[in-house]
C-alpha cells in the first residue's frame, strides 16, 4: 500500500502539471471571496456582509466549474464550454454592475464603508471573472478583445452610475490592467500545459521510432543473410528438377549443394539472432545515460566494464536496459545512479533512483520484466534483488560471478 504521496508519484509528469494547473486556478478563484470577505467583515455588519457574499459565492462557484471544464477542453477531453463561458461573462457583468450601482445609489447612500466593500466586489469580480474566462479561449485576439471589452464596459458603467469622468477612466484602466494580468497568466498556463503534453507525446514517438528503427535493422540483417542464399537455393533446386527429369546424375550433386547452402543459412540466421539478443554492457550504460538525461533525469554512471566476459556483459546489459525502462515508466525520478563494482570473483551492478516505485506494487517479485532478468541471470549463475530502499528510493542489485558460463543455447 502506497504512502500519503503515492497517488502523486504514480502520476505521469503531464498529469502532475495538469493537476497543479487545475488546483492553482481553483485556489485563485477561491481568493476572490477571501479578499471580498475580509473587506466586508471589516466594514459591514454581519447580515449585510452575508448579503454581499451570497452573489459573490455563486459567482465563484460558476467560475470554478467553468475553469475546470475549460481545462478539460484544453487537453481534449470535452467540447469547448461555450455556454458556461457566456454564463460566467453574464454573471460577472451582472454582479459588477449591481455592485457599482448599489454603491452609488443604494438604500444607505454612497457611504464610505459600503462604497469600499462594493468597490472591492466590483473590481475583484471583473478581474477574476475575465481571467478565468480566458482559460476557455485559444485565440489571442479574442482574449485581448475580452479584456478590452470588460475594461471599457467597466468605465462606461462607472460613468453612468454617476462617477466622475476621471475616476471612471481610472476604473477602466485598473480593470483592464488587472484582468489583463489574470488573462495573461491563464494563457501562459494553458500554453505550458499543452507544451508538456506535446513533449510527452514526442518522447513516446521517439521511443516508438527507436523500436521501429531496430526492427528495420534486424530486417535488413536478415535480408542480407537470407536474400542471396534463398535465391541460390531456388535456382539450384530448379536446376536439380530439370536434371532429375532428364535422369542426369548431376541432380544429386545439386541437391547436396542446396542442402549445404540451407544449413549455412540456418547457421547465419542463428548468428544474427544471437547478436541481436546479446546486449553490450558499455553500450547499454552509455545509452541509458543519454536516454535518462534526455528525459530530464540526472544520471551518473561509475565503474569499469573492461575485460568482463561476454556472457557477463550480455546479462548485465539486459539489466541496465530493463532498469532504465522502469525508471522512465514508473514514478517520477529526478536522479538515477548506476554503479559497477568488481569485488573478488564477481561483478555487482547497482541501479538507484529517487522517484520510482516497485513495478506492479511488489518490491521482491516484480513484474514480467524483472522475472525475465532473473531467468537471464540465473543462466549465468547470477542473482537479482529489487525493491524500495526507503526515502522514496528504488534499488536494483544484480550480481554475476566472473566465472559465469553460458547456459546451453536452444537451437532457433
What phi and psi, each to the nearest 5 degrees, are found at residue 385? -130, 125
Helix axes 250-277, 165-245, angle to 10 degrees: 150
- 244's grid cell: 532429375
Q: Which residue has the cell 533525469?
A: 297
C-alpha closest to that of 179 among 160, 157, 154, 202: 154
Q: Which pLDDT value is given to residue 340?
A: 93
Q: Which pLDDT value is given to residue 216?
A: 77
Distances (CA, A) of 344 to 104, 377, 380, 399, 401: 89, 18, 17, 12, 9
Q: Which pLDDT value is given to residue 278?
A: 60
- Residues in CB range of 260: below 8 A, 6 or more apart: none
Q: Are 285 and 320 contacting, i.e. CB atoms less than 8 angstroms apart?
A: yes
d(CA 218, CA 237): 28
d(CA 138, CA 128): 18
Q: Which pLDDT value is given to residue 181?
A: 92
Q: Are 158 and 100 contacting, i.e. CB atoms less than 8 angstroms apart?
A: yes
Q: Which pLDDT value is given to residue 149?
A: 92
Spans of the chain, pLDDT less than 70? 1-6, 104-113, 211, 214, 224, 228, 274-279, 294-295, 330-331, 356-368, 404-412
Q: Which pLDDT value is given to residue 350?
A: 94
- 112's grid cell: 464610505
Buried b / exposed e over 212-226, threshold 16 CB at 10 Å, is: eeeeeeeeebeeebb
Q: How many other CB atoms are there within 10 angstroms of residue 396's CB atom?
A: 26
Q: How many other CB atoms are there within 10 angstroms of residue 292's CB atom?
A: 22
Q: Which pLDDT value is given to residue 58?
A: 92
- 387's grid cell: 525493491
d(CA 233, CA 239): 10
Which tens digits make up the pLDDT trace of 351-407?
999 875 544 444 444 456 788 788 888 888 899 998 887 777 889 999 999 875 544
- 25's grid cell: 486556478
Q: Which pLDDT value is given to residue 343?
A: 87
Q: Are 339 and 303 contacting, i.e. CB atoms less than 8 angstroms apart?
A: yes
Torsion of CA 23, 29, 35, 38, to 10 degrees: -80
Q: Which residue has the cell 551518473?
A: 300
Amino acid at each position: 500500500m502506497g504512502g500519503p504521496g503515492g497517488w502523486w508519484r504514480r502520476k505521469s509528469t503531464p498529469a502532475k502539471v495538469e493537476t497543479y494547473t487545475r488546483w492553482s486556478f481553483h485556489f485563485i478563484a477561491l481568493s476572490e471571496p477571501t479578499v471580498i470577505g475580509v473587506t466586508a467583515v471589516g466594514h459591514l455588519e454581519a447580515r449585510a456582509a452575508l448579503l454581499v457574499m451570497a452573489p459573490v459565492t455563486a459567482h465563484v462557484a460558476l467560475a470554478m466549474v467553468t475553469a475546470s471544464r475549460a481545462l478539460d477542453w484544453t487537453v481534449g477531453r470535452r467540447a469547448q464550454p461555450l455556454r458556461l463561458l457566456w454564463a460566467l461573462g453574464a454573471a460577472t457583468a451582472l454582479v459588477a454592475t449591481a455592485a457599482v450601482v448599489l454603491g452609488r445609489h443604494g438604500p444607505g447612500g454612497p457611504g464610505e464603508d459600503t462604497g469600499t466593500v462594493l468597490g472591492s466586489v466590483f473590481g475583484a469580480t471583473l478581474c477574476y471573472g475575465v481571467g478565468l474566462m480566458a482559460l476557455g479561449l485559444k485565440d489571442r485576439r479574442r482574449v485581448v478583445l475580452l479584456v478590452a471589452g470588460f475594461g471599457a464596459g467597466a468605465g462606461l458603467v462607472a460613468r453612468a452610475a454617476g462617477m466622475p469622468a476621471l475616476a471612471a477612466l481610472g476604473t477602466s484602466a485598473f480593470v483592464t490592467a488587472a484582468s489583463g494580468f489574470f488573462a495573461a497568466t491563464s494563457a501562459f498556463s494553458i500554453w505550458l500545459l499543452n507544451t508538456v503534453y506535446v513533449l510527452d507525446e514526442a518522447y513516446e514517438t521517439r521511443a516508438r521510432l527507436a523500436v521501429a528503427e531496430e526492427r528495420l535493422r534486424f530486417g535488413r540483417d536478415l535480408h542480407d543473410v537470407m536474400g542471396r542464399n534463398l535465391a541460390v537455393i531456388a535456382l539450384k533446386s530448379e536446376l536439380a528438377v530439370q536434371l532429375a527429369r532428364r535422369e542426369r546424375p548431376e541432380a544429386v550433386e545439386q541437391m547436396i549443394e542446396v542442402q549445404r547452402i540451407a544449413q549455412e543459412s540456418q547457421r547465419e540466421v542463428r548468428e544474427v539472432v544471437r547478436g541481436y539478443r546479446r546486449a553490450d554492457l558499455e553500450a547499454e550504460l552509455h545509452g541509458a545515460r543519454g536516454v535518462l538525461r534526455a528525459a530530464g533525469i540526472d544520471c551518473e554512471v561509475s565503474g569499469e566494464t573492461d575485460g568482463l566476459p561476454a556472457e557477463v556483459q550480455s546479462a548485465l546489459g539486459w539489466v541496465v536496459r530493463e532498469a532504465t525502462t522502469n525508471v522512465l515508466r514508473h514514478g517520477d525520478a529526478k536522479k538515477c545512479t548506476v554503479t559497477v563494482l568488481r569485488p573478488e570473483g564477481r561483478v555487482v551492478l547497482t541501479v538507484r533512483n529517487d522517484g520510482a516505485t516497485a513495478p506492479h506494487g511488489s518490491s521482491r517479485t516484480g513484474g514480467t520484466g524483472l522475472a525475465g532478468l532473473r531467468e537471464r541471470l540465473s543462466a549465468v549463475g547470477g542473482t537479482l534483488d529489487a525493491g524500495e530502499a526507503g526515502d522514496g528510493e528504488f534499488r536494483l542489485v544484480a550480481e554475476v560471478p566472473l566465472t559465469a558460463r553460458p547456459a546451453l543455447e536452444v537451437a532457433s
